[in-house]
Structure 1
């Protein structure tokens, strides 16, 4: 029997947690939660903040022109120059709106939004910091990101937009060249799994290729390849973000096979791919 992948998207579960659903939508979702242990586990995962929000907001914080915004605020609030930025913002917001210079209001709100955004979506254990650089750069971080992305993919995702096989072969040639790895169809095809699409991403300046298959029994399965040197390692198994993973490395590339399929399905496929691609 094929796995049931239907149900609310993460956006619907987040809306439920935020109290943003209509009474009817809330009642329908609560009915499903009462009968679906997997869905309850997913809701609990989102409620605990066990998602890669830290990396996302680190990127936002890194790109945000905070220094420039604070400089604008300081310049616009000359009478408040002796105050710390947070105190200056509070003092500004207490003033009548018509007494606040537009530049000060814009800069203050931008800094406020940056702080609220990080605080709203980061788990409590990340406050007030977002972890160390060593945690974010760990060899396992890319596997968490790739697993989390595939968790949003269902069988309907793949079957609703089938790809032409000639295009898939062309895509394999393009991404194989990018990785410096032979990804001809005979090396990546898997028995009983239909090769559905090929995508090229980047993870911290390294090319990341995702080759997605359709397993009629277990839904999407993806072979992910990161073009980054890593010590050779034989296939091992783990579970991340609700997904099963078999991972290994060849020295010049890191690999993972990820999906909802059980370990007894993924492990032999990973061994087969490791022999072909390493």
Structure 2
């Protein structure tokens, strides 16, 4: 009768397959044999692997034939030779095939991540990288993130002066206040080694929103809109700074608020 060995360590699938294929010898084979016979979990796993007599090569062949080879070859040309693979011979043992399968998975994941990374970089080369970072950061906010922050006028003025000093920009509280939406905090963050000002608000209906500002030499640009991380964004720039107002507010309402701030800061 099989019993549970509470302190027995579960052998890896590779080890069990090696035992199944007769590739273990001596003490190691005896150890695995004992575990298979006396440990229920090990025995069940061994039984599962021993029933796996399918034609592994034939099962994977359609995946290999349908792989996006053109894209992958271009990406894989930059990967180390250690992760490339020769065609799989049909007389490989299951242990050998498992190792090859792991290699294929590694190459596939590495290639896919490299491709995604290149797509992300290329899609943000228009100068919008900082907006993507802000959107990702703000998507983590909940109303509780801002609810208990001190919002007295003296503290706000001090915070806004500090942010303005770092950015080289006057930020009077009346210019960045939004009707019916409390200003909760102004702080300096950093993006790409440069200061990024964040003025955070808590809309009673739509939750956290933020006015973010960076120094920019791209010149003045009229307000534009976009969607990021499920939030609406209005962004614009003057001769020295880039701005974005982001939140879950309806797009038309956010446009009105952004225009109010833009007009006040230009006054």
**Same fold by TM-score, threshold 0.5 exceeded?**
yes
How far apart, in 2, do the equivalents of 1:134 and 1:85 lie? Answer: 26
Structure number with larger C-alpha Rg: 2
Q: Is 1:203 the counterpart of 2:207 in the alignment?
A: no
- Greater relative contact order (Cα < 8 A, sep 6+): 1
Structure 1 counterpart of 2:181, from 190, 193, 209: 193
The alignment covers a number of residue pairs equal to 163
How far apart, in 2, do the equivalents of 1:140 and 1:264 lie? Answer: 21
How far apart, in 2, do the equivalents of 1:155 and 1:188 lie? Answer: 20
Shift of the alpha carbon at 1:209?
A: 0.5
Partner of 2:133: 145
Instruction: Flag structure 2 segments of 5+ consecutive residues without an equivalent.
Output: 1-79, 84-105
How far apart, in 1, do the equivalents of 2:177 and 2:210 lie? Answer: 12
- Return the TM-score normalized by structure 2: 0.55
**Root-mean-square deviation (CA), in Å?**
2.5
How far apart, in 2, do the equivalents of 1:263 and 1:152 lie? Answer: 20
Structure 1 counterpart of 2:214, from 226, 233, 236: 226
Partner of 2:259: 271
Structure 1 counterpart of 2:113, from 126, 130, 150: 126
Residues 206-251 of structure 1: CA deviation (Å, up to 9, x unaligned): 2110101111111111001111222211112110111110111112
Shift of the alpha carbon at 1:201?
A: 0.9
Q: What are the residue-to-residue correspondences of 1:157-176 with 2, within 5 Å?
A: 157-176=145-164
Residues 68-120 of structure 1: CA deviation (Å, up to 9, x unaligned): xxxxxxxxxxxxxxxx7958xxxxxxxxxxxxxxxxxxxxxxxxxxxx9xx98
Moved more, 127-136 or 174-183: 127-136
Q: 1:136 to 1:204 in 2, by over 3 A?
A: farther
- Return the TM-score normalized by structure 1: 0.53
Partner of 2:171: 183
How far apart, in 1, do the equivalents of 2:231 and 2:218 lie? Answer: 23
How far apart, in 2, do the equivalents of 1:205 and 1:134 lie? Answer: 21
Q: What are the residue-to-residue correspondences of 1:32-51 with 2, within 5 Å?
A: none
Shift of the alpha carbon at 1:194?
A: 0.5
How far apart, in 2, do the equivalents of 1:177 and 1:152 lie? Answer: 27
How far apart, in 2, do the equivalents of 1:193 and 1:130 lie? Answer: 37
Contact 1:235 1:274 in 2 (8 A): no
How far apart, in 2, do the equivalents of 1:128 and 1:248 lie? Answer: 30
Partner of 1:254: 242
How far apart, in 2, do the equivalents of 1:217 and 1:202 lie? Answer: 29
Find the residue that maps to 1:127 and give its secondary structure.
helix
